[in-house]
């Protein structure tokens, strides 16, 4: 998949046009996958590349610096997911104030037509765009008639009688309802990252951990979890994980710490996926390290029991 961040002109791969969709695409839930599937089908029918247009940072993060929505996927995770889905081009410019001031017709003319040469656009039925989210699907259809592209509207996907959305998934994760989040995503929720050195406190306590920085302004979940680790062999590895700030040792920055059972290899620098299976409890501050170690034994035993049954 080709990544385009800031082209000066229409990239060569798009000179004949493309089939595109626009959106944040955080989490790639069932509704997202329905739209992406239509993009791929339309692209193959027309012999054109399939393109996803998104922004980095997201508009929500840009305008809500102190309280942005928690990311389900960081940038690299989104790139990998779109690539695995079969998307040909990921157009992801940096979101800036100049973009936020574009009127709907300017957005279409400058970005969709001049830069991306869109021939067919697929969007969800709740899609809004441009300055103050003024642009509607009807605006796109009228612009398409003027600029020479067609527009396809895809109906929302519902689950349990409610529209499926990234916001609902965040709410389920925050509540610790991993089963519900997994049903909306189509698979268990995952985080990924490169294993980095830590303070080796877990090793001192008899629970060595693989530490992953979140690379998010805000995490969608926190606590102690039964998890599985992928990327260290042919089979997932059972583990227990802590995601939080480590209040017992006065931590500040959130980090994901994963203790893999019966595992001792040096994996610093390795890129791994952590699949969240079940939440065990909330993070808490203990009176001392001995109390924390005692609870870690309880957490590990509970995680083993849960993972043995799923």
Q: What is the mean pLDDT of the chain?
A: 93
pTM of the predicted protein model? 0.91
Encode pLDDT of 189-225 as tens digits: 999 999 998 777 777 778 899 999 998 888 999 999 9
Displacement of CA 59 from its chain's centroid (Å): 15
Phi-psi region of 186 (alpha: psi -120 to 50; beta: other; left: phi over 0): left
**β-bridge pairing 190-196 and 210-213:** antiparallel
What's the average model confidence in pLDDT over 115-142?
Answer: 94
Residue 304 pLDDT: 97
Encode pLDDT of 229-268 as tens digits: 999 989 999 999 999 988 888 777 889 999 999 998 999 9
C-alpha 71/C-alpha 259 separation (Å) is 24
Q: Cβ distance 240 to 259 under 8 Å?
A: yes
Domains of the chain: 2-159 (3.40.50.620), 188-307 (2.40.30.30)
CB count within 10 Å of CB 177 equals 15
Residue 222 pLDDT: 95
**Residue percentage of the chain with pLDDT more than 90:** 76
Residue 252 pLDDT: 77
């Amino acid at each position: 998949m080709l990544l385009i961040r800031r082209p000066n002109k229409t990239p060569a791969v798009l000179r004949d046009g493309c089939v595109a969709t626009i959106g944040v695409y955080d989490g790639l839930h069932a509704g997202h996958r329905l739209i992406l599937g239509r993009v791929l089908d339309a692209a193959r029918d027309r012999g054109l590349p399939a393109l996803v247009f998104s922004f980095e940072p997201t508009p929500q993060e840009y305008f809500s610096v102190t309280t942005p929505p928690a990311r389900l996927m960081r940038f690299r995770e989104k790139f990998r997911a779109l690539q695995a889905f079969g998307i040909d081009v990921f157009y992801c410019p940096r979101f800036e104030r100049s973009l936020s001031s574009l009127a709907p017709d300017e957005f279409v003319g400058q970005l969709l037509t001049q830069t991306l040469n869109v021939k067919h656009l697929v969007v969800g039925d709740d899609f809004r765009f441009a300055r103050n989210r003024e642009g509607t699907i009807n605006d796109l259809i009228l612009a398409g008639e003027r600029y020479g592209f067609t527009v396809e509207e895809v109906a929302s996907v519902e689950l349990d009688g409610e529209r499926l959305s990234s916001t609902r998934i965040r709410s389920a994760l925050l509540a610790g309802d991993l089963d519900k989040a997994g049903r909306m995503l189509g698979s268990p929720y995952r985080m990924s990252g490169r294993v980095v050195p830590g303070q080796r406190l877990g090793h001192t306590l008899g629970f060595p951990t693989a530490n992953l920085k979140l690379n998010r302004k805000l995490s969608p979940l926190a606590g102690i979890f039964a998890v599985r680790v992928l990327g260290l062999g042919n089979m997932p590895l059972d583990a227990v994980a802590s995601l939080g700030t480590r209040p017992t040792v006065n931590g500040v920055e959130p980090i994901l710490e994963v203790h893999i059972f019966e595992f001792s290899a040096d994996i610093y620098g390795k890129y791994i996926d952590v699949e969240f299976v079940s939440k065990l409890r909330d993070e808490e501050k203990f009176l001392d390290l001995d109390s924390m170690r005692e609870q870690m034994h309880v957490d590990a035993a509970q995680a083993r029991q849960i993972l043995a049954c799923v």
